[in-house]
A and B are shown apart, each in its own frame.
Chain A
Amino acid sequence: QKEVEQDPGPLSVPEGAIVSLNCTYSNSAFQYFMWYRQYSRKGPELLMYTYSSGNKEDGRFTAQVDKSSKYISLFIRDSQPSDSATYLCAHVDYKLSFGAGTTVTVRA
């Protein structure tokens, strides 16, 4: 079983919609998680880093960790065509254990 599972999508939404991305993790001891965005033919770009339970907000992005259900989520408000990318969740210790990535397309 992979440490972090993520639905690869693809996910297509109209411009301005809220994008909701989810991952599940296997080990209840996990506490540190990160979200990366990867554009085609580019390396992953760090979006947000979250610890334990609760929400973290950064502009249009909100990351959420629900330890009771072992769920991590990323919400993108007021989505833009420039948000079209693959979004990767990861558990953090000495290495990053990534989910499969969800490909998102925001339609203008």
Chain B
Amino acid sequence: KAGVTQTPRYLIKTRGQQVTLSCSPISGHRSVSWYQQTPGQGLQFLFEYFSETQRNKGNFPGRFSGRQFSNSRSEMNVSTLELGDSALYLCASSLASPGQRNTEAFFGQGTRLTVV
């Protein structure tokens, strides 16, 4: 069974640009969550999607957005990139439905974003 696939693995962008990251969940998983991992803040929750709807959102500025498609694939977008957006962006998929605890969330390898 294929795991969570994130593309691209590495990205280098310039301040002020925008970026789109992609996540393909495990087959059958309809819940997709995004996390940001930095050395200073650790792993922080960005948002969660289920059936193309954003269900929950973390404490990040509006420059961070996402969407989910009918096949459960998800994308996240960061606009007007700042140096502090440099991080590992991780996607996790699970079988959890809205209202359920997100146990057994499986992570992808992540996309390493560097903003210069």
* Chain A interface (Cβ < 8 Å from any Cβ of B): 32, 34, 36, 41-46, 49, 88, 90, 92-101
Tell me the B4-52 residues at the A interface (CB within 8 Å). 4, 6, 33, 35, 42-45, 48
Check if B109 is an interface residue, CB within 8 A of chain A.
Answer: yes
In whole Å, how far is B52's beta carbon from the nearest beta carbon of chain A?
Answer: 17
In whole Å, how far is B77's beta carbon from the nearest beta carbon of chain A?
Answer: 20
Give the secondary structure class of A's interface: strand
Q: Are B43 and A43 in contact (CB under 8 A)?
A: no
**A49-B103 CB under 8 A given contacts A94-B48, A95-B56, A95-B58:** yes
Q: Which residue of B lies closest to A95 (CB)?
A: B45
Q: Are B101 and A93 in contact (CB under 8 A)?
A: yes
Q: Are B109 and A43 in contact (CB under 8 A)?
A: yes
In whole Å, how far is B48's beta carbon from the nearest beta carbon of chain A?
Answer: 6
**A94-B43 CB under 8 A given contacts A43-B107, A43-B108, A43-B109:** no
Q: Which residues of A sit under 8 angstroms from B42, Cβ to Cβ?
A: 98-101
A55 to B8, CA, bound (A): 39
A92 to B103, CA, bound (A): 7
Show 29 A/B contacts (Cβ-Cβ < 8 Å), sorted by A.
Answer: A32-B103, A42-B109, A43-B4, A43-B109, A44-B43, A44-B107, A45-B107, A46-B105, A49-B103, A49-B104, A88-B43, A92-B102, A93-B101, A93-B102, A94-B56, A94-B96, A94-B99, A94-B100, A94-B101, A95-B33, A96-B33, A96-B35, A96-B43, A96-B92, A96-B102, A96-B105, A98-B42, A101-B42, A101-B43
A46 to B112, CA, bound (A): 20
**A97-B45 CB under 8 A given contacts A32-B101, A43-B90, A46-B104:** yes
Q: Which residues of B sit under 8 angstroms from A94, Cβ to Cβ?
A: 48, 55-56, 96, 98-102
A94 to B105, CA, bound (A): 10
Check if B106 is an interface residue, CB within 8 A of chain A.
Answer: yes
Check if B110 is an interface residue, CB within 8 A of chain A.
Answer: yes
